[in-house]
């Protein structure tokens, strides 16, 4: 994070991808876990539309998606659970 709480553009992209993953995940109330419903290709599509919106607001900004920005997930992956063994809890 940069000075005075101003998040970088790659940080905003990573945060937006995490929000999208958890917003579209299935929340199981019995097992107290969240299960992923999207795959990496869906995240790349969402990331490109997110960056297009950001660049529409700031045309001088030149940023792209790198491989490390998009987490390697698949459908059916346990994101978080009550036992602390989810993929986003490590």
- What's the rounded Cα separation, in Å, for the pair 9 and 53? 12
- Model pLDDT, residue 3: 62
Is the confidence at residue 71, as pLDDT, over 90?
Answer: no
Quick one: average pLDDT of 34-43?
94
- What's the rounded Cα separation, in Å, for the pair 73 and 43? 9
Q: Are 88 and 80 in contact (CB under 8 A)?
A: yes
Alpha carbons within 13 angstroms on the beta-carbon side of residue 21 total 28
Is the confidence at residue 51, as pLDDT, over 80?
Answer: yes
For the whole model, what pTM was predicted? 0.82
């Amino acid at each position: 994070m940069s000075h005075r709480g101003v998040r970088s553009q790659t940080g905003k992209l990573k945060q937006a991808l995490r929000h999208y993953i958890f917003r579209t995940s299935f929340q199981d109330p019995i097992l107290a876990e969240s299960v992923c419903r999207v795959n990496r290709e869906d995240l790349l599509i969402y990331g490109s539309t997110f960056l297009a919106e950001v660049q529409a607001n700031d045309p001088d900004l030149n940023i792209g998606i790198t491989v490390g920005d998009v987490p390697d997930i698949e459908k059916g992956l346990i994101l978080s659970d009550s036992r602390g063994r989810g993929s986003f809890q490590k």
